[in-house]
Homo-oligomer: A and B are copies of this chain.
Amino acid sequence: MTDNMAQMPTAVVLLSGGLDSYTAAAMARRDGFVLSALSFRYGQRHRMEIDAARRVARALGVERHLVLDLDLAAMGGSSLTSPDIAVPRDRPADEPGIPSTYVPARNTIFLAVALGWAEVLGAHDLVIGVNALDYSGYPDCRPAFIRAFEALARVATRAGVEGQPIRVHAPLIEMSKADIIRRGTTLGLEYGLTLSCYDPSAGGVPCGHCDSCRLRAAGFAAAGVPDPAQQAHPR
């Protein structure tokens, strides 16, 4: 830690290994926060994303990176955790409803743990890379969710009781995927470190057919930037 860092506030950032959380974390760092990164092995079938989260955490120069285990697969209910539910391929963007890749209450759970860690660290800022435009329709990616979590944090914590509100930063929430990529490119981010694909059978090579791959590809195309992860793994 430099002397300078000692005077900077800490933010707890949720890092998945994908490009959104990397960009959100980099924006928080640029805004003057020292980063404590939190990732979860939650039983996701695409657990290779944890390797990506470690690469991203190193590239961001985080102060610490905590990877916690929480076996949400024991509950089932999502194609991201249950091998017996297939990850949808080439799902129409205008298909109504919440897709099977939704992991029930995942962002609520992750923010709750981040909140606990922030209390221990004396931090009052959480960062999450959710996005309500180019996303899959998950309820816990919307501005109303973020506001409700901040309201909960005010009454749930020692800091809140003592009058110090917890802020949940979701800097990408109103941005398009292309805007996110442009912003990250301006910040010099190395998107080749990230992994967005939901499909574990692709073995770390983007499958190109899951929602996450397709949103990412459309975003890079709209931003007019090549995806370095595609160049690293040409198909």
Contacts of A119 in B (CB 8 A): 77, 104-105
Residue in B72, B104, B155 whose CB lies within 8 Å of A145: B155
B102 touches A158 (CB 8 A): yes
Residue in B108, B149, B155 whose CB lies within 8 Å of A139: B155
* A26 within 8 Å of B (CB atoms): no
A107 touches B156 (CB 8 A): yes
* A160 within 8 Å of B (CB atoms): yes
How large, as a class, is the contact surface on chain A? 35 or more
Q: How far is the CA of A70 from the CA of B76 in the complex (A)?
A: 17
Contacts of A72 in B (CB 8 A): 113, 116
* A1 within 8 Å of B (CB atoms): no
* A182 within 8 Å of B (CB atoms): no
Q: How far is the CA of A103 from the CA of B113 in the complex (A)?
A: 11
Q: How far is the CA of A120 from the CA of B104 in the complex (A)?
A: 7
* A232 within 8 Å of B (CB atoms): no
Contacts of A68 in B (CB 8 A): 70-71, 74
* A152 within 8 Å of B (CB atoms): yes
* A66 within 8 Å of B (CB atoms): yes
* A109 within 8 Å of B (CB atoms): yes
* A148 within 8 Å of B (CB atoms): yes
A75 touches B139 (CB 8 A): no
* A151 within 8 Å of B (CB atoms): yes
Q: Which residues of A contact B (CB under 8 A)?
A: 66, 68-72, 74-77, 98, 102-109, 111-113, 115-120, 139-140, 142, 144-145, 148-149, 151-158, 160-161
